Amino acid sequence: MANARERLTHLVELASQSAPEKSRALALELCDLLLDWPEDYSAAMRAPFEALMEKVARGLDPATRKLVGARLASSAKAPVDLLNGFFFDVPAELKETILARNDLPTSASEPEMRDDDAEMTLLDAMRGEGNSDFAPLLGRCLAIETAAAELVAGDARAFAIACRGAQFARATWSSVSLLRFGANPVSVEADYAHLGLFDDIAPNAARRMLQYWRSRRDAPIAAEADMQAA
């Protein structure tokens, strides 16, 4: 049986050569490995495999991302940062599972990230321009890349997480959210439920999720470099 370094080398080679139709099998193999880590593999070698998984996941089709994300989210062994990368691929109940994992205590405290200027910029722009170019504006205000901002801008729950994580005032969240997603003309109860999204999110979980989105700004994964350093 190949040792961890040999296996990683082999999988990195496959990742660089695989045709799109083979990426699914590679991703599932990595998923199986991370969820059932061999006893004779050192814990220090997990990080390069996780980095490779994140790299491979970028090229997966939506159905495979959903499958891999669901498998990872269903296991307590999956690392939180890897789970966060699949947040937008899994159904609502697994999104809540991932968010709950972000709320677990960590050895390092989450940094304070409140930015009053960004908060007012977002609010003023929404009042003046509505939804025009909302995602790029959100990306600038939250310091996240545009691709992530587009996903956040299209998902009310994710937008609530981002606002909570940035420590925006609830009034700001309510105003921008209603301008962005619109009031419900049929059901006042639905409006209250929507606005309640902000209150339901644990502050620490939101900060950690936003920090993940920020940490991926212009930071490509380099699995080969991680392998050499392990």
Return all residues near 26 (Cβ < 8 A) that are at least 6 apart.
11, 14, 15, 18, 56
Rounded Cα distance between 163 and 142, Å, is: 9
CA angle 49, 53, 59 (to 5 degrees): 150
For residues 174-195, give the mean pLDDT.
Answer: 68
Which pLDDT score is estimated for 94?
Answer: 95
Residues 8 and 98 in one domain: yes
Q: What is the pLDDT of residue 162?
A: 94
Q: 135: closest CA among 149, 124, 121?
A: 149
Token digits for 152?
């956040």
Tens-digit pLDDT profile for residues 76-101: 889 899 999 999 999 999 999 999 99
Domain range for 88 is 4-102
Q: Do 125 and 97 belong to one domain?
A: no
**34-82: per-residue pLDDT in tens?**
999 998 899 898 999 999 999 899 889 999 999 999 999 999 889 899 9
Burial 2-32 (b: 16+ CB within 10 A, else e): eebeebbeebbebbeebeeeebbebbeebbe
Q: Which of 65, 80, 102 is the last residue of a domain?
A: 102
Report, as an integer, the average pLDDT of 159-178.
90
Q: Which two tokens stand for residue 17?
A: 């050569």
Is the same domain home to 10 and 94? yes
Task: Sort 205 into a burial class: Cβ within 10 Å, 0-12 / 13-18 / 19+.
Answer: buried
Handedness of CA 144, 147, 153, 155 (dihedral sign): negative
What is the total count of domains within the chain?
2
- The rounded distance, in Å, linking the Cα atoms of 73 and 77 is 9
Give the separation between CA 35 and CA 75, rounded to whole angstroms: 7
In this structure, is the dihedral angle defined by the CA atoms of residues 206, 118, 217 and 27, taken in order, positive or negative? Answer: positive
Q: pLDDT at residue 185 above 70?
A: no
Confidence (pTM): 0.82
Regarding whether 152 and 78 lie in a shared domain, the answer is no
State whether 73 and 152 are in the same domain. no
Same domain, 134 and 75: no
Tokens of 24: 């699914």
Cα–Cα dist 104/106, whole Å: 7
Residue 220 domain-assigned?
Answer: no
Please indicate, yes or no, whether residues 85 and 120 belong to a single structural domain of this protein.
Answer: no
Is the separation of the CB atoms in 184 and 194 below 8 Å? yes
Using a 10 angstrom Cβ sphere, with 0-12 exposed, 13-18 middle and 19 or more buried, the burial of residue 155 is middle
Both tokens of 158, joined, read 């994710």
